[in-house]
Structure 1
Amino acid sequence: MQQQYDNWKELLTNSFDHFISTLVAYLPNLFSAVVLLVVGLLAAALIRSLIVRLGQWIERFAQRVGISSYYFRVRWPITRIIATIIYWLVILFFVTAAARSLGLPGIAEWLNKLIDYSPSIVVAALIIWAGFVLGDFTREKLAARFRGSRIQQAEQLGNAARILVITLTIIIGLGQLGIEVGLLAQLLVILTSAVMLALALAFGVGAGTTVANMIALRNLGRHYQAGQRIRIGEVEGVISELSKTAVILDTEAGQAIIPAKLFQEQECILLDEGD
C-alpha cells in the first residue's frame, strides 16, 4: 500500500514539475505574444484615428473651397470605411505574428492566407460601399422625379431602384472575392425586369392624365384662343391662357384652371369671340 502511494506521489510530482518547466520555458513566447497583441491594438487604433482625422480635415477643406461632393453627406463616409478596414488588417497582422510567437504554425498559416486575400476583401468592401452610396443617390433622385410627376408610390419605386443597385454591387463584390455568382446574376436579371416593368407601369399610370390633357389641348388650340368667353359645365369665364395641359379662365369668382381633357368629356359653349 505504501509502495503504491509513493508511486502515485512520484507520478504527480513529476507531472507537476514537467508542467512548471514547460510553462517557464513557454513564458517568454507567451509574453512576446501578449506584447505583440497590445502593440497591435494600439497601432491599429492610432492609424484608424489618424485616417479619420485626415478625412475630416479633407472634408472641412472641401467645404471651405466650395466643393460639394455627395459622398461627404452619405451615412457611411469613405474615410471611416477605409479606417475600419485598415484597423482590422493591422490587428490581423499582429495576431499572425503572435500566433507564430506561440508556436502555432497552423493558425499562423491560415492567418497568412487571410492576409494574402485581404486586397480582394478591401476591393469588394469598397465596391459594396459604392453600391450603397449610389443606391441612396438613385433613390433620392428617382423619388424626387416621381413626386414631381405626381406618380403614386414614388418612395416605393425609389426604394426598389436602391435595392436593385445595391444587389448589383453586392454581386460584383462577391465575384471579386472569387465566389460563384452565376445564380445570383440570373436572379438579378429577373429582379431588374420586374423593377423596370413596375417603373413602366408607374410612369404609364402617373403620366396618363398628363398625356391625355396635352393631346386634348392640341385640339383645343384649333377652336379656342385667349380672350374668348366660354362656358364648360357650371364654369363660365374668359380664356386668359392655354397652358400645356389646361385652360385657364378668368371668372367672377377668380381664376379657374380647367384640365384640357374635360373639353372632350363635357359640352363647351362659346359665348363671345372676344377681340
Structure 2
Amino acid sequence: MLEIFEQEATNVITTVITLLPDLLGAVLMLLLGWLLARFLRMAITRLARAFNTLVAGRFYGTNSEFARIPTTVQQLLGATVFWATILVFVAVSVRLMGFDGVAHWLERLVVYLPSLLSGGLIIIAGAIIGSASRKLITHAAETADIARPELLGQSSQVAFIVVGLIIGLGQIGVDVTFLIMLFGIVLATVLAGFSLAFGLGAKPLVENLIANQHLKLLVKPGQQVACGSLHGRVLEFTATGVLLETEHGRTLLPAKLFMEQSLSLITSEKKDGN
C-alpha cells in the first residue's frame, strides 16, 4: 500500500516538474498581458482626457465643446481595450499549458475580436456623433429662431444612434435585415406624418400666396376697392395679403378674402361742367 502511494506521489511530482516550465511561462505571459492591458487602458484614458483638454482650451466660452468625449465613453473604451488584451494573452497562456481544446476555442474568439471591436467602435462613434449633432443642431435652430429646436436636435441624435447601431451590428455579424426594414418603415411613417402636418398647416399660406398673385393682376396700389363691407385704398401688397387704408385706419386683409367675397374696383366719376 505504501509503495502504491509513493508511486502516485512520484508520478504527481514528475508531472508537476514536467509542466513547471510551461506553467511558469503561462503565468509570466498572464502577468505580461495584465501589465500591458493596464498600460493600454491608461493610455487610452489619458489620450481622451488630453483631447478633451485641448477642445476645452481651444473652444473655451463657445458652444463647440460638444466634441468632448464623455467620461462614460472614456471608461468604456478603456475597459474594451483592457479585456481584449487580457483575452489575447489568456489564449496564448492556455496554448502554452497544452489545453488545446480550450485554446482553440479562445483563438477563434480572438480571431472574431477585431470584428467585435470595430462594431463596438462604430456604435460608440454613432452615439458620440449623435450627441454632438444634437447640440449643434439645437444651437443652430435656436440661433435661427426655429420653433422646437430641442426636437430637431433629439431627432438628429436618434438618427445617428440608430444608423451607428445598425452598421455596428452588421460589422459584428448580426443579421440586421429586420432592423433595416423596421427603421425604413418608421422613417417613412415619420416623414409621411411630417408631410401631412406640413400640408395641412401650410394650406392657408398656399391659398393666400396663390390668391395674392391673381389679385396683383387685377388691382394696383393706389386704387380704391371694396371687399364685402370693407372699402379703402390699396397701399401695398404683402406676401400673403393686402394692406388697405380705410376710414378706420390701416387694415391688413388676407389675399384669399378678395377671392371668396365680391371685389369691386371703385373709379372716380368726372362731373360735367354744365
User: How would you bin the TM-score normalised by the shorter chain?
Assistant: 0.5 to 0.7
CA distance in 1 between counterparts of 2:208 and 2:164 reads 41
Question: Which residue does the alignment assign to 2:258?
Answer: 263
The residue number in structure 1 matching 2:84 is 92
- Deviations 1:165-215 (CA, angstroms, capped at 9, x unpaired): 543442222111122222333333333332332232123222222211111
CA 1:235–1:144 in structure 2 vs 1: closer, same or farther (change >3 Å)?
farther
State whether residues 66 and 135 of structure 2, in contact with CA within 8 Å, keep that contact through their aligned partners in structure 1: no
Q: Partners in 1 of 2:55 and 2:100 — Cα distance?
A: 44
Q: CA deviation at 1:219?
A: 0.8
Structure 1, unaligned runs of 5 or more: 1-10, 12-17
How far apart in 1 are the matches of 2:135 and 2:186? 16
Deviation at 1:127, TM superposition (A): 3.3
Q: What percentage of residue pairs aligned between the two structures are identical?
A: 29
Deviation at 1:128, TM superposition (A): 3.1
Aligned ranges 1:135-214 → 2 under 5 Å: 137=133, 163=158, 166-214=161-209
| 1:242 corresponds to | 237
Q: Deviations over 1:203-256 (max 9, x none)?
A: 322222221111111111012222234444565554332122222334566654
Amino acid at match of 1:220: L
SS at match of 2:183: helix
Letter in 2 for 1:246: G
Query: Does the CA-based 8 Å contact 1:160-1:195 persist in structure 2?
Result: no
Opposite residue 88 of structure 1, the aligned amino acid is T
In structure 1, what is the equivalent of residue 8 of structure 2?
A: none
Q: Aligned equivalents of 2:201 and 2:129: distance in 1?
A: 25
Q: Aligned letter for 1:55?
A: F
* Alpha-carbon RMSD: 5.0
Q: Which runs of 5+ in 2 are unaligned?
A: 6-11, 269-274
Counterpart of 2:114, as a letter, is P
Q: Distance in 1 between matches of 2:192 and 2:75?
A: 40
Structure 1 pair 106/131, CA: closer, same or farther in 2 (3 Å)? same
Are the counterparts in 1 of residues 231 and 246 from structure 2 also a CA contact under 8 Å? yes
1:1-275 aligned at under 5 Å gives the runs 39=35, 42-60=38-56, 63=59, 72-73=65-66, 81=73, 84-94=76-86, 96-97=88-89, 110=105, 112-132=107-127, 137=133, 163=158, 166-232=161-227, 237-250=232-245, 255-271=250-266
Closer, same or farther: CA 90–132 of 1 in aligned 2, 3 Å = closer
Amino acid aligned to 2:43 = I
- TM-superposition CA deviations, 1:108-160 (whole Å, max 9, x none): 65555444334323432343345446656489869959x9898xx99778866
Q: Distance in 1 between matches of 2:213 and 2:122?
A: 49
Q: How far apart, CA to CA, are the structure 2 residues paired with 1:149 and 1:207?
A: 16
Q: In structure 1, give the amino acid aligned to 2:255.
A: A
Q: Distance in 2 between matches of 1:187 and 1:109?
A: 38
Q: Tell me, what secondary structure is at the counterpart of 2:235?
A: strand
Tell me if structure 2 keeps the 8 A contact 1:34–1:98: yes
CA distance in 1, matches of 2:214, 2:173: 61
How many Å apart are 1:269 and its aligned residue?
Answer: 4.3
Could you tell me how far apart the structure 2 residues matched to 1:245 and 1:133 are?
A: 44
